[in-house]
């Protein structure tokens, strides 16, 4: 199952980061999606990309949640999907550098 990087998994300050510095081979933009639509789309996206792009990095854009009535919804949806059944297609994932999406390395 895919996992989020924790603690010591990050490179030293200033060192290249193989996940966050990677150029994504595909991007999914979830701006404006409902939580239900976003969950379905991210699952479909990962299941489609994993077999054709193993080991590559994809980018899922959620935005920062400024358009949400309350707290941002989409980042939590993406985390739940990546931690669920779709996680079997994911080697690692983390928030992108501007905290408006996720970088995901496929298995």
The whole-model pTM stands at 0.83
pLDDT at 11: 58
What per-residue confidence (pLDDT) applies to 72?
Answer: 78
Nearest to 62 by CA among 84, 90, 82: 82
Q: Provide the residue-wise pLDDT of the chain in tens; the chain has 107 residues.
A: 455 554 445 555 666 788 888 899 999 999 889 999 999 999 999 999 999 999 999 999 998 766 666 777 899 999 999 999 999 999 999 988 777 899 999 99
- The 8-class DSSP code of residue 12 comes to P
Instruction: Specify the pLDDT at position 21.
Output: 87
What is the number of alpha carbons within 13 Å of residue 15 lying toward its C-beta? Answer: 8
d(CA 79, CA 35): 12
């Amino acid at each position: 199952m895919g996992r989020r990087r924790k603690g010591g998994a990050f490179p030293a300050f200033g060192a290249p980061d193989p996940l966050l510095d990677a150029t994504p081979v595909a991007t999914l933009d979830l701006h404006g999606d409902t939580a239900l639509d976003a969950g379905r789309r991210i699952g479909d996206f990962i299941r489609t990309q994993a077999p054709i792009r193993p080991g590559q990095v994809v980018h899922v854009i959620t935005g920062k949640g400024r358009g949400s009535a309350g707290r941002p919804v989409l980042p939590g949806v993406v985390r739940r999907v990546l931690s669920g059944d779709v996680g079997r297609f994911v080697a690692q994932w983390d928030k992108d550098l501007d905290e408006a999406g996720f970088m995901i390395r496929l298995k």
